Amino acid sequence: MAGGKRVFFAFFQEFSQQYVLRFVYRYGLILVRESSILDKSGLQERVFGNQGATIMSEFQQRMQVELPAPSKIFTPWMTTFLILEILGFALIHHAPEFTINNLAISRACFLEGKIWQLVTHGFLESCWWNLIIDCIVLLFFGSALEREIKTGSYFLLWLTVILNCGLLWLLVNVLFGLNAPGIGAGSFAFAQMAAFGMVFWDQKFYLYLSVIKAQYVSWLFIGAGIVLGIQTPLVWVWVGGAGLAYLFMKLRKKIFEEFAGSGGRVRSRSGPRGFVDLD
């Protein structure tokens, strides 16, 4: 019994190290090729049998691990947004009055002519937990998304979401007679999750030793935002970034299809039920 436990824990440690490095290398921290996913039921049977050493050896042979190149993970605009959001978080805590009056978006300040707030509110986050989530989304999902839809489209997605969520925030404040300052970095997090689900749709990846499709992760993330907004409905303005991303990606796909139909050459990898098939 003790020997079986040692084999299991040794395998678990090796497995964790190997698959983490694998998906970091292959798709910038999260996505893996479906062909590299081991059969879960067969894996469990063999781990608890007498072949722990055999499967560890086979697993090591199948998973060729390489250190990720920084340029692969830290794509241009994702890295820029990551740095700006960290700076925005530091600024809002060290100079809160200046930040709220000049960078966060509010009806009164916007009417005073501070139109740049339509953009700057998208770099602001006020709490550690939200900052961590936003950074994880950027690194895990934004990097893969930018590489797939290309840097120009990724930037246009951000600009579309930030500007329209800013305008929506102002509209909601006008309709309900509010003057709440808007800190909207979260809107792009929801937008990335929606776009990620559309682009990678049925692509599978690892999540805590289980396998899940991209579309389900997107729905879970967006659903969590809707539920958390019940106590503070204004949060739904930022969740609306997911809807804007959906419209953006649909329009992008239509433009690409029309361009291809007119004789233009578009680099596209269409897959079943999804916008892009990575493999």
Residues in the chain: 279
Which of 3.90.180.10, 3.60.15.10, 1.10.287.3510, 1.20.1540.10 would CATH assign to domain 74-261? 1.20.1540.10
Q: Is the pLDDT of residue 31 over 60?
A: no
The residue type at 181: P
Contact between 219 and 197 (Cβ < 8 Å) = yes
| Position 35 pLDDT exceeds 60 | no
Q: Residue 76 is encoded by which pair of tokens? A: 């241009």
pLDDT of res. 36: 36
Res 3: pLDDT? 57
Structure-token pair, residue 87: 């700076």
- Which of 116-125, 181-190, 202-211 is predicted least confidently? 202-211
Rounded CA-CA distance 84/91 in Å is: 10
Question: pLDDT band at residue 271, thresholds of 50, 70 and 90?
Answer: very low
Q: Which residues lie across from 213 on neighbouring strands?
A: 204
pLDDT digits (tens, 9 = 90+) for 206-264: 665 667 888 999 999 999 999 999 988 999 999 999 999 999 999 999 988 887 766 55
Please give the Cα distance from 128 to 88 (Å, whole number): 12
Angle, alpha carbons 188-161-118 (nearest 5°)? 100
Q: Domain segments of the chain: what residues?
A: 2-62, 74-261
Among the residues of 115-267, which ranges form H helices?
117-120, 128-136, 143-149, 151-175, 185-200, 214-228, 236-261
Tell how strand 204-207 and strand 210-213 pair up: antiparallel
Each residue's pLDDT tens digit, 42-81: 444 444 444 444 444 444 444 443 445 666 789 999 999 9
Residues in CB range of 144: below 8 A, 6 or more apart: 27, 28, 29, 30, 31, 196, 200
Instruction: Give 176 or 26, the one with higher predicted confidence.
Output: 176
Mean pLDDT of the chain: 78
pLDDT of residue 272: 40
The whole-number average pLDDT for the span 29-44 is: 39
* Among the ranges given (8-22, 92-106, 211-225), the one the predictor scored with the smallest mean pLDDT: 8-22
Q: How far apart are CA 109 and CA 13, in angstroms?
A: 54
Distance CA 181, CA 257 (A): 40
Type of residue numbered 112: E
Q: What is the pLDDT of residue 276?
A: 36
